[in-house]
Amino acid sequence: MSDLKGNNKLSKSTFISFAKSLASNRLTFSVVVLLIVVVQNIITTPGFFKITIANGLISGYIPNILDEASELVIVTLGMTLVTAASGGQDISAGAIMAVAASFCGLMLNGSEYRTDVFHSPYLLALLVGLLGGALCGAFNGFLVSKLRMPPMLTSLILFTAGRSIAKQITHGQTIYIMNPVYKWLGVQIPGVPIRTTIIVSTVTVIFITLLTRLTSLGLYIQSVGINDASSRLVGLKSSVIKFLTFVLYGVLAGLAGLVGSSSVGSVNSGELGLGIEMDAILAVALGGNNLGGGKFSIAGSIIGAYTIQAITTTLYAMNVRADQLNVFKALIIIVIIVASSDVFKTKIKHFTQKIFSKNVSVGG
């Protein structure tokens, strides 16, 4: 008979330990923020969850968010890996996007600024674009892993010069690619009701997750990021692993560049992916990842990226005035960052502990 009481106690204590593990889990925070944004939308934006089919495409606010966030999600994946392995951030994503898209645009357009026909096979052009991204990544990776330069400083080179290089490739012009096939990657493949961006970003997330989970890459990256010297002594080639993450970052940024330019049907090297690296760093931080390297959570980063896009879309939907938009964004980000700081978390922990202990004493 006493079992009943025991059970009751057990469920309570398991609940408390569950709550505690939830509080200490790095994912919890980003999920909570995303939930707040969603709830806020239910209240302020009628039809936020409405999904319709327009012009053969599933559309609505949520598909919009998933669509618009896709470039950021792809870059964030790369940023997560680079951050984990090198303990620093690569800020050349936007420039790499421009370079990759410019290569691709050059292949497709020849030297014409506006054309309906492709000058070379579509898939080949995409591959060349990705290769361009990989080259940029390899350049950064070489400087970081072999010459031991800090990532932020290293990527400053491409951050500054990348768009100029892209401009040289496109002869300083915006390239307009009028062939509807070009928009397959960034808008829609005929007959598929889901935007290709959403498919591409999802597939990329799955690919990177599998890459880090099914091979030992994830473990290696974390080891190298936590302690380079220890990793070397257990036989890991830390410079190779760092180099690899930078190349992956380059390829992913390149892919984001192709998606981004495809979705607007043109390559504008001054505009493509402008400032995306900062959002990606923010997404990594929001995801509960340590910007100093080491352990990482892909899920956290991805949720962080979608949260950032959800905030932007929400502000548009609320018709916040243009001159106030950035103030609102900054305010929200300040709140999020303060709330995710360790000091604040400990305070909250103490607070909840107090409440718990009060509850227990009342119950006893």
The whole-angstrom separation of Cα 262 and Cα 251 is 16
| 270 near other proteins, judged by CB under 8 A | yes
CB of 6 to other proteins, least distance (A): 21
CA proximity to 329, closest of 284, 288, 278: 278
First to last CA, the chain: 19
* Complete DSSP assignment for 150-165: -HHHHHHHHHHHHHHH
Q: Is the distance from CB of 112 to CB of 170 less than 8 angstroms? A: no
> 70 to 109, contacts with other proteins by CB under 8 A?
none
Q: Which range touches other proteins (CB under 8 A), out of 2-10, 25-33, 131-139, 170-178?
A: 170-178
Characterize 111-142 residue by residue with b for buried, 16 or more Cβ atoms within 10 angstroms of its Cβ, and e for exposed.
eebebeebeeebeebbebbbbbbbbbbbbbbb
| 43 near other proteins, judged by CB under 8 A | no
CB of 273 to other proteins, least distance (A): 8
Q: Return the residue of 233, 342, 343, 363 that touches other proteins, per CB under 8 A.
A: 233
CB of 32 to other proteins, least distance (A): 21
Q: Measured from the CB atom, is 11 or 215 closer to other proteins?
A: 215
Q: Which range touches other proteins (CB under 8 A), out of 8-16, 55-63, 125-133, 335-343?
A: 55-63
Q: Return the residue of 109, 231, 289, 307 that touches other proteins, per CB under 8 A.
A: 231
Q: Is the distance from CB of 239 to CB of 146 less than 8 angstroms? A: yes
* Residue 66 CB contacts under 8 Å (≥ 6 apart), including other chains: 195, 197, 198, 201, 306
| 345 near other proteins, judged by CB under 8 A | no
The whole-angstrom separation of Cα 255 and Cα 127 is 9
Q: Return the residue of 133, 151, 294, 304 that touches other proteins, per CB under 8 A.
A: 294
Q: Return the residue of 22, 39, 117, 161 that touches other proteins, per CB under 8 A.
A: 161
Q: Return the residue of 1, 4, 43, 322 that touches other proteins, per CB under 8 A.
A: 322
Q: Is the distance from CB of 138 to CB of 198 less than 8 angstroms? A: no
Q: Return the residue of 295, 299, 333, 345 that touches other proteins, per CB under 8 A.
A: 295
> CA geometry: angle at 136 spanning 130 and 140, to 5°?
140
Q: Is the distance from CB of 66 to CB of 59 less than 8 angstroms? A: no
| 117 near other proteins, judged by CB under 8 A | no
Q: Which range touches other proteins (CB under 8 A), out of 28-36, 125-133, 225-233, 281-289?
A: 225-233
| 313 near other proteins, judged by CB under 8 A | yes
CB of 114 to other proteins, least distance (A): 6
CB count in 10 Å sphere of residue 340: 18
Q: Which residue has the tokens 């096979």?
A: 121
Count residues near other proteins (CB under 8 A): 68
CB of 21 to other proteins, least distance (A): 10
Q: Return the residue of 12, 114, 347, 354 that touches other proteins, per CB under 8 A.
A: 114
The whole-angstrom separation of Cα 224 and Cα 238 is 6
Q: Which range touches other proteins (CB under 8 A), out of 64-72, 102-110, 249-257, 329-337?
A: 64-72
Residues 311, 316, 317, 319: is their CA dihedral positive or negative?
positive
Count of alpha carbons within 13 angstroms of residue 322, beta-carbon side: 0
Q: Measured from the CB atom, is 124 or 318 closer to other proteins?
A: 318
Q: What phi and psi values does residue 188 have, to the nearest 5 degrees?
A: -160, 135
CB of 310 to other proteins, least distance (A): 12
Q: Per DSSP, which regions of the chain are E strands?
A: 52-54, 57-59, 114-115, 175-177, 266-267
| 361 near other proteins, judged by CB under 8 A | no
Q: Which chain residues interact with other proteins by CB under 8 A?
A: 20, 47, 54-57, 59-61, 64, 67-68, 113-114, 149, 153, 156-157, 160-161, 164, 167, 172-174, 176, 187-188, 214-217, 219-220, 222-223, 226-227, 229-237, 260, 263-266, 268, 270-272, 274, 294-295, 312-313, 316-317, 319, 321-323, 325
